[in-house]
Chains A and B, each alone.
Chain A
Amino acid sequence: MSITFLLAQPFAQHALAAAALVAVTCGLIAPLVVTRGMSFAVHGTAELAFTGAAAGLLIADNPVAGALAGSLVVAVLISTLGARPRERDSAIGAILAFGMGIGVLLLGYYQGFATAATNILFGNIFGVSGSQLLILVVINLLVVAVMATWYRPLLFASVDPEAAEARGVPVARLGLLFLVVLALTVTGAAQVVGTLLVLSLAITPAAAAQRLSASPLVVTALSVAFALTAADGGLLASFAASNIKASVFITSISFAIYLAARLAGPSLRDRRQRHRQTRPIPPADRT
C-alpha cells in the first residue's frame, strides 16, 4: 500500500489527528512535569486509567468515561496523600498498586470482553473513533486554556514554592489543578497511544528540550515540537514500513531526540553563558 493511499483513509487521518492532539497536550505539560519532578505521577495516572476503564465498563459500559472520571479521583488522591514533595512518590506507589488491584477485581466481575479495558493500557491508534477524537479536542482546549491562564504562577510555584506562596500564588490549589490537568492529559492520551507511549510523549520531549535551552518558553516550544515530531513522524514512518508498529517508531524517534539533545546539550545550553562570562565575574561572586 502506498503512503498516499493510506493517507486518504479515514482511519489514518484519525490516527494522525489524534497523535497530533495528544502530542500538543503532552508536549505542553511536559516541561512542568519535569520541573516539578512528577514523572512518576505520569506513570501512575497512566496505568490507573486501566482501573477507571474497568470501573466504567462495569458501571456504565463506557471505559473512556470511566477512565477520565477515575483520573480525577487519582489526581485528588495523589494531591491529598502526597501533599509534600518528599512523600509524593511513595504515595503514588501506594495508590498505584492498590488501584491496579481494584482494577483486576472489577474486571473479574465484568461479563463481556475485557479488551475494552486492556485497550486503554496499550492504546489503539488505528482505531480512533470520531467521538474519541472529540474527547481529545476537548481535553486539548482545556489544557491550553489552563496553561494560557496559569502558566506563570504554575512555573513560579514549581521553581520556588516558598517565594511564590509569599507573593500570593495559591501554591497548593495550583498543585491540585496541575495534577488534574496532568491526569486528564495522560488518560486521554493513554486510550489512544497506550500507557507506555504516554511516557515517551509527556516526559521525554521536555527532558530533551531542557538540555538545549534554559528559557522556559523556548523549552516549552521545543517540547511540543519534539512530541509532534515523534508522534506524527512515527505514524508516517509506520505507514511507509507497514510491518513495524507505529509505537516502535514513536518511542524510537522520541528517544533519538533525547539522546541527541543529551549529546549536543551542554555545549548549546551553556554557550551563551560562556560567551557572557568572557567578561570576568568579580571574585566576590564566586563560590
Chain B
Amino acid sequence: MTGNGGAAVALRGATLRFGRHVIWQDLGLDIAPGECLAVLGPNGAGKTTLLKVLLGLLPLSAGTVTIDGQAPRRGSAQAGYVPQQRDFDRDLPIRGRDLVQFGVDGHRRGLPFTRARQVDAVIAAVGAQDYADAPVGLLSGGQQQRLRIAQALAGRPRLLLCDEPLLSLDPASQESVTALLAAYRREHGTTVVIVTHEIPPAAGFFDRVLYVAGGRWAAGTPDEVMTTEALSALYGTHIDVIRVHDRIIVVGGEDAAGHHHLPPGDHTGHQAGGRERR
C-alpha cells in the first residue's frame, strides 16, 4: 500500500510476548488512511491485544508501531474504541445519550453540567435519535451497539478500532451496523480496524484482512488470505476454506473446533480452525 510516511498505522517487526508466551511476532503492516482492515483468527490469537497496542494500553515487546507517524498514546483523541460488547444492567441509571457523552468529555474532570452539542450530532449520525433518551439497559443489542459506536466517534477519531462489533447481533442488526460503519467511513475517510470472527457478506467492506494464528500472521486482500493454501500455510496444517454464496467458511484442526464461539444463530459463518494457543 502506501509507504511508511503516509500510513495511518505502521507496524514494523512488531512482537508481543507475555513472559515466554509469544502472542505474535515480527508483524509488519501498513494501514493506509481510510482503509478498512479486518483482523481475523482463532480465540487467543491476540486480536484484541493488537487493538490495545494501537490504543497505547500495551507496549510492544519488540518492534515499533506508529499512528500518523507517532507512537500511540493512551487516551489520545486520534483513536476511537468500541470494546467488545457486554450487556448493560436493566437498572443502570444511564441513558443512551449519557453513553455518547462519555465519548466527548467522560475523561475530563469538572462538574458534569456541560451539554456538548456534538452529542446530538453524533447520535443523529448513527441514527439513534429515537432511543437516545431511554435507559441503555432496556435497549436491544443492535441499539446499544449503535450508541457505543457513537461514543467512539464522538471524539472525531481518525482511526476507529472495533472489537467484535457484530457479535451477538442478529443478522439484520449485523447488516445495519456494518452499513453504518461503511457509510461513516466513506463520508469521513476514517481508518477502520475491526476484530471479527467472520467477513460479513457485504462485499467489499474490508479492503484487507490480517489473519493471526499461532503467533504467525498473514495479510492481504480477503481473496488472497482467505484461501485454503494461505491459511494452511499459516496454521501449518491442512485448513479448508470454503465459499458458500458470499460467505467464507474456514474449516480445520478438529482439535480447535470447540474453542470457537460463533455469534448465536450464525450457522454459516467462520468456523475457523487452527490451534488454540497455550
Tally of contact residues, B, Cβ under 8 A: 52
Which residues of B are found within 8 Å of A167, using beta-carbon distances? 75, 81, 102-103, 106-107, 155
Q: Which residue of A lies closest to B109 (CB)?
A: A149
Asked whether B14 is an interface residue with its Cβ less than 8 Å from the other chain, the reply is no
Closest approach, in angstroms, between the C-beta of B177 and any C-beta of chain A? 9
B130 and A283 contacting across the interface, CB-CB below 8 Å: no
CB distance from B57 to the nearest CB of A (A): 6
Partner of B143, one of A210, A269, A283, A285: A285
| Residues A273 and B133 in contact, CB atoms below 8 Å apart | yes
Is B98 in contact with chain A by the CB < 8 A criterion? yes
Asked if B135 is an interface residue, CB under 8 A from chain A, the answer is: yes
Structural contact, B106 and A214, CB atoms closer than 8 A: no
Residue pair B175, A169 in contact (C-beta under 8 Å): no
Q: Which residues of A contact B172 (CB under 8 A)?
A: 283-284, 286
A277 pairs with B131, CB closer than 8 A: yes
CA distance A169 to B110 in the complex (A): 13
* Residue A215, interface by CB 8 Å: yes
Query: Would you call A163 and B175 a contact (CB within 8 A)?
Result: no
Q: Which A residues are in CB contact (< 8 Å) with B63?
A: none
> How far is it, in angstroms, between the C-alpha of A5 and the C-alpha of B114 when the chains are bound?
46
The residues in B between 107 and 153 inclusive whose CB is less than 8 angstroms from any CB of A are 107-113, 127, 130-131, 133-136, 138, 140-143, 146, 148, 151-152
Q: Are A287 and B141 also in contact (CB < 8 A) when A152-B106, A153-B109, A210-B91 are?
A: yes
Min CB distance B46 to A, Å, is: 17
When distances are taken between beta carbons in the complex, the residues of chain A under 8 Å from B55 are 166
Residues 252-287 of A contacting B (Cβ, < 8 Å)? 269-270, 272-273, 276-277, 279, 281-287
A40 interface residue, CB < 8 Å from B?
Answer: no
B92 at the A/B interface (Cβ < 8 Å)?
A: yes
Contact at A214–B94, with CB atoms within 8 Å? Answer: yes
Residues of B within 8 A of A90 (CB): none
* Cβ-closest chain A residue relative to B97: A215
Beyond A209-B93, A216-B93, A283-B172, whether A152 also contacts B108 by CB under 8 A is: yes
Q: How far is the CA of A279 from the CA of B113 in the complex (A)?
A: 29
Q: For A164, give its contact among B106, B134, B148, B175 (CB under 8 Å).
A: B106
- Say yes or no: A211 contacts B133, CB within 8 Å: no
Q: How far is the CA of A217 from the CA of B140 in the complex (A)?
A: 24
Q: Report the separation of the CA atoms of residues A268 and B110 in the bound assembly, to the nearest whole angstrom.
A: 30
| B232: min CB distance to chain A, Å | 35
A198 to chain B minimum Cβ distance, whole angstroms, is 21
Chain B residues whose CB sits within 8 angstroms of the CB of A281 once the complex forms: 130-131, 143
The smallest C-beta distance from B168 to any residue of chain A, in angstroms, reads 8
Tell me the complex Cα distance, A160–B92, Å: 11
* Chain B CB within 8 A of A66 CB: no
Q: Which residues of B contact A148 (CB under 8 A)?
A: 110-111
Contacting pair A153 B107 (CB below 8 A): yes
Alpha-carbon distance between A217 and B94 when the two chains are bound, in angstroms: 10
Contacts of A276 in B (CB 8 A): 130-131, 133-134
- Interface residue count on the A side (C-beta < 8 Å): 44
Which of A270, A272, A282 contacts B176, CB < 8 Å?
A282
Task: Verify B109–A284 contact, CB threshold 8 A.
Answer: no
In the bound complex, CA of A151 to CA of B105 (Å): 11
Q: Which of B74, B83, B106 has the most CB of A within 10 A?
A: B106
Q: Is B224 an interface residue (CB 8 A)?
A: no
Cα A277 to Cα B138 with chains together (Å): 12
Interchain CB contact under 8 A, B131 and A273: yes
Given known contacts A166-B74, A168-B75, A284-B176, A149 and B110 CB-to-CB distance under 8 angstroms: yes
Cα separation A213 to B94 with both chains bound (whole Å): 9
User: A159 touches which one: B91, B92, B173 (CB < 8 A)?
Assistant: B92
How long is the Cα–Cα vector from A272 to B130 in the complex, in angstroms?
11
Residue of A nearest to B144 (CB): A287
- Contact string against A for B residues 166-198, beta-carbon threshold 8 Å, 1 for contact and 0 otherwise: 000110110110000000000000000000000
What is the CA–CA distance of A40 and B195 in the complex, to the nearest angstrom?
Answer: 37
Q: A166 — which chain B residues lie within 8 A by C-beta? A: 55, 57, 74-75, 79, 81, 83
15 A-B pairs in the complex with CB atoms less than 8 angstroms apart: A148-B110, A150-B109, A152-B109, A155-B102, A159-B99, A162-B81, A164-B107, A167-B102, A209-B93, A214-B134, A214-B136, A270-B138, A276-B134, A277-B134, A284-B172
- B residues near A (Cβ < 8 Å) are 55, 57, 74-76, 79, 81-84, 88, 91-95, 98-99, 102-103, 105-113, 127, 130-131, 133-136, 138, 140-143, 146, 148, 151-152, 155, 169-170, 172-173, 175-176
